Amino acid sequence: MSPDTSAQRLPSGVLMRHDLPNPGWGPLSALPGNPLMWVLILSEMLVFTAFFALYAGQRALDPALFNESQHQLDPVLGGLNTLVLLTSGLFVAFAVEAISAKRIQRSRQWLGAAILLGLLFCLIKVFEYTSKFAAGITPETNVFLVFTMV
């Protein structure tokens, strides 16, 4: 069997096939990106919709508990972690753009920065949860903390 010569080989030896049409997807081939990416995005949307619907339902059952429990959260650490996650996502987008422009080294740098931010996210969570657990606050404390800590 002969190798596929329609794919482009990068200097690293990786075959790039993203520019090739994929007639096997039928009308979904018109979507930007791979249709499986859209399946992933839609499944994430469904999971988060279910999560927030469940949260809203539980909050409606006991609003006082949810209001009181919010004071156990650290808005500075939560805000910092949100910023870290958004920035790491931006860095991954920059890496994808760099790989599309065949700037492999730059793409690796962006991905490395995203990985470092992912590690920073984990460190912030360890710091946050360690102090919570030391104070006796766990996901088992109440239903609000299940939503925020799990």
Q: What is the 3-state secondary structure (H, E, C) of 88-143?
A: HHHHHHHHHHHHHCCCHHHHHHHHHHHHHHHHHHHHHHHHHHHHHHHCCCCCCCCH
Q: Give the start-to-end residue ranges of the domains of the chain.
A: 32-61, 72-150
pTM for this predicted structure: 0.71
Task: Kindly report, residue by residue over 63-112, the tens digit of the pLDDT.
Answer: 999 999 999 999 999 999 999 999 999 999 999 999 999 999 999 999 99
